[in-house]
């Protein structure tokens, strides 16, 4: 069981969250992108054995989208921040 330290609600069990996958995927510029860039956007993901930047939605809590750094072998959680901080 992951205990995810939500910056808004505090530590909460993983069952309150929905997983959103690789946080480093960026939507290409619609006016200026190739088919290859769109295919990579839809189908290619980072899949590291170790530190992984990933999205989680606190769906049974504050509804914030979070970006969490988690180790995919030990499941230890490193940094946690609200995803909207990246967009500002």
Partner 1 sequence: MVNERYSFLALAKHALTGHKNWQPAIRHPEPKDKYDVIVVGGGGHGLATAYYLAKLHGINKVALLERGWIGGGNTGRNTTIVRSNYLLEENANFYEHSLKLWEGLSSDLNFNVMFSQRSVINTCHTPAELESTMRRYNAMRLNGIDAEFLTADELKRRVPSINLGQDGSLRWPILAALSQPRGGVARHDAVAWGFARGADALGVDIIQNCEVTGFKRAVDGRITGVETNRGPISASKVGVAVAGHSGQVMAMADVRLPIESHLLQAFVSEPVKPFLDVVVSTGALHFYISQTDKGEVLLGGGLDGYNSYGQRGTIPNIQEVTSAATEMFPNISRLKWMRQWAGVMDMTMDGSPIIGKTPVPGLFFDGGWCYGGFKAIPGSGWCFAHTIATGEPHSLNASFTLERFGRSAVIDEKGAGPFPKAH
Binding-site ranges for partner 1 (CB under 8 A): 1-2, 13-15, 19, 21-22, 35-36, 39-40, 42-45, 47, 49, 52, 54, 72-75
The CB-of-2 to partner 1 minimum distance in angstroms stands at 7
CA atoms in the 13 A half-sphere facing the CB of 79:
7
- 9 SS3 class: coil
- Taking the least distance from each CB to partner 1, the nearer of 67 and 88 is 67
- Taking the least distance from each CB to partner 1, the nearer of 43 and 88 is 43
The CB-of-15 to partner 1 minimum distance in angstroms stands at 5
Beta strands (DSSP E) in 1-88 are 3-6, 10-13, 18-22, 51-57, 65-71, 77-82
């Amino acid at each position: 069981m992951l205990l995810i330290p939500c910056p808004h609600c505090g530590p909460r069990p993983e069952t309150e969250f929905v997983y959103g996958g690789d946080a480093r995927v960026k939507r290409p510029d619609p006016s200026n992108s190739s088919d290859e860039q769109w295919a990579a956007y839809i189908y290619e993901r980072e899949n590291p054995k170790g530190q992984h930047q990933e999205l989680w939605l606190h769906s049974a809590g504050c509804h914030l989208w979070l970006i969490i750094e988690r180790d995919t072998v030990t499941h230890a959680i490193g940094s946690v921040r609200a995803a909207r901080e990246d967009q500002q």
